[in-house]
Structure 1
Amino acid sequence: MRIVIVEDEAAIREGMVKLLHQINPQYEVVGKAVDGQSGYELIRSVRPDLIIVDIRMPDMNGLAMIRKLQEEQVRCKVLVISAYSEFEYAREAIELGIINYLLKPLKIAELKKALEKVDEEIRRDQHKEYGFSLENIFMGCINGQLEPDEYFHEQTLGKYGFTVQEPAELFMVWLGKGYEQQKDRAKELLEHVADHTVKFAANIRELKGWDMLLMILYRQHAGESQYTYFSKSVVPMLCDNLKKPLVCVWRRMEHLLDASKVIPEMKKELEWNLCFPDRALICKRVIQKQQIVPIKYPLELEDRAKQALREKNWEDLVSTYERLYDHLVRENHLPSQIKESLIRFNWSLVTTQKDKKEESELRIQKILQRIASADTWNQIETDMKEFMTFLDYSEPKTEEPSVSDLIQRAKVLIRKYYNQGITLEETARKLFVSEEYLSAQFKKETGSTFTETVRKYRIEKVKELLVETHLKMNQIAELSGYSDPKYMSRVFKEEVGMLPTEYRKEIQ
């Protein structure tokens, strides 16, 4: 509480400063004045919470000073101290709304009681002015700065029909890196949910620092939980209308006031998304029911991956990672154990390689740190794509120096699977890069598109089979990756300038 003392007697004025500090160290004397006029000017400047003022002073008495301040809409609590008990002074003080009136000599107990009364009045006024908006109530619960008393509960119950002591539920929508792009749409969808129900009231908050929206469900009908409704209806609706990443977490609280403690716990529960199926609503109660099985680290897969890396067998390496992912999610494991196993597996491959530059190792360590803090498979997939670029699994270079290891590996896959309908999407997935990036790099480095290259390999295979075998056209089409021999003949003529049958006759 900020206090100004207006008293013409120096001993009383200085003694009051010391006494106030003894009564409550939180009381702050922000100014002192020796008469009404200087007090008036000081109070207009510093705007204290409380004025402690004598009545009889030179130039302008205390009551005249208060009247003048009130006329100028300067509102402060007032505690009058006076050696005079005349009725006229008391009547004028009452007219000014001053009910705190103490006689000199002051008794410490009476002063302390009067100050506590003023402090309570100030807190109530602050509640009225700042605390009783829904905005401040919910923000106070979230940041833990709300300290409600009985008066606060009475006012919120009377004005809004609930108190922060009542049970409430929280619905958290984490949007990750897509927060800025999707928050408005997500908020619009949540508001639609809130507007079309009478079973609960809701307040939606943006928690930008955590890339999430928080929906607070309060004033619930008969205390009924909305978990089932949100799990079966709201979460699927959000998944249908928003892009990944999207993770939803639920928590029921005994008291709305507990939100500041519960929200960080919900943030930690995000990583259970690694163990729950898509479109699931993560909930502490459901997590606690999980039969957790310790992970048995797959040493056999680690050895196989190391061998594939030493032999530059990219296909076997990818296959081993696919088996690893399947192993990590086959049973119910702790999310932390899943990430720890993946990090251990990755690091074992890093240590297998020789001549790794220090710069590369530092970047790899940062990738592994991101995996350790990941909450979704989407995050892990992004980090794994970057991690794989540091592994030296390229075949001995037979291509021109300008062709990167990535394109060489892509060509290996094309040569191996061109007759099995291999696509750009499938190849990009096996190489841990995006379709767009692989397509652009392929065209840039080879001068041909991915599709053109696949077609080239198929046509070469058709030529080989035409010359070296007596197979029929439908058999040749099947062996070279074409489902329709007529389509194969048309493509062959576009590339070679003649039909396959004509080519066979000419060569023979």
Structure 2
Amino acid sequence: MPRIVIVDDESIFRKGLRKMIAELDPQWEVVGEARDGYEALQLVEELLPDAVLTDIRMPRMNGIQLQQLLRERFRDLLCVVISGFDDFIYIQQSMRQGAMDYLMKPIEREELGKVLSQLREKVHVGQRLQVDPAIAVKSHREEHRIRQHVSEHLITALLRGSVNDADLELLRSIGIAFQHPYFACMVIKLDKSSIGSERYNRADPSLFQLYIQQLVQEVLSRRVNGYCFVMSETEVAALINIPDREQAMVGIREIGESIRRQMTSLSNITVTIGIGQAVEGFKAIAESYNEAEIALLHRLIIGGDKVIAYGEITRDDRLYSDLSSSSWELLEQAVHKGKRELVAEAVQTFVSELCSKAYSPEVVHQQLCKLLLHYYETAGKLGMTKEWLGSKDMKAVLFHICSISSREELMEECSLLLVRLAVCIAENVAQPERDPIEKSIRYIEQNYANALTLKEVADAVYLNAAYFSTLFKQRMGKSFVERLTEVRIHEAKRRMAQTDQKIAAIAEHTGFANIRHFNRVFKNETGMSPKLYRDQLQAGANPNSQ
């Protein structure tokens, strides 16, 4: 007796189909029902049916995506799709994925009967080879376990920095190999405005993401070692493996521009692409992905249909050049000290000064978006984004800020956000951390302005200085002094871009003993003097590209 699984997100429709199948063709056995593609994959793996009857429009994983995975994992499985409206793109996509037939809602009994008869004939004619069922089930389950783990967890885990050696071995076992030491992440998002609300609402949003994923993967396959996948119903991500850090970033930006142009020319839609900086090793991939997300968020400020590289943001990111440095410093200190009252007061001062000096409401919103993006990045580095925002999405927060037209409401909303962040930072600092290296990194980032020594930091994490030095180098790939210098130079560059402080004052506030020492270290790290770096910033050039 042939076996079939029904997949539809509406329980009433599933029950109706089950009843119709029993009445029209009793030779068929309905062995399971699933609400979406994820449930369907599990059922197929467990029950090994002969056919699947699936709707296209479903949450989480739609019928098109389900067909793709079924085609890879269960080549003998027959599939028929159901569409609720006569849209050629759905039918065309289904047939490309190997669907035997399709049915239109509402399903007519006569049509369903014909399809069941044809399916049954296919099952009988193409009868599977006789093998031990236990071996077949074991083989299918093993393949399913590996591929499902990769598709649902491993790539996402790479981006979020939570993979281990066993996970990487699983990746290699299905042919996903990384030969080069460096990685860069790209996040691609559809500009909904380029479609129009009518067209977007009429179509299945996930199909747009699938289309973007396919086009991006085609471009990557021709030019680099990279993998593209759908992260969610609104986001496509790409992980690119590159041999050289500096030169490759130029090429990755060109790839982004190529994707953007092809998307417009082939489909008349636009996308915005965020690109993270190149990083070394698997454990640093999450950093590049986070940078790509941050770069993409700048779409709210500079508009869509662009490629936005994280490393280039600082060129236009002189956040507070029109404001006194004191209001910014006051706010920064209050947040990192975790003082609620000081944060609320500093936000009031900052917003009030911003509103009084800005020449348009747009400038106010832009500056506040940049401010919140700065703290979003800070929260990400401290590993407390979820703790800070909870279930909220940063994009939604920024759009909400841009909808406010009252100065008092802006103060209130920004105060609530930054007070919550300050509390998270204070609570996090108060909790003993298990990982001494992570704790030491945070200690460096909070105390870089002081005359830090290796022994002081080792004492702070309760380790012997010699052992701490060795462990730090093993874990970070650089020495304690190199990391401290990196943090100090990064902060110095930020101050030169965002404040009008004198270079001598910046040197003092970032932990350098004197201006001569600062000049020497800065030039050694960046290839140019602090004065030349600031001059290029003021001229609108990008000193990071030198």
One fold, TM greater than 0.5?
no
Q: Which has the higher contact order (CA 8 A, sep 6+)?
A: 2
Q: Which has the larger radius of gyration?
A: 1
TM-score (norm 2): 0.30
TM-score (norm 1): 0.32
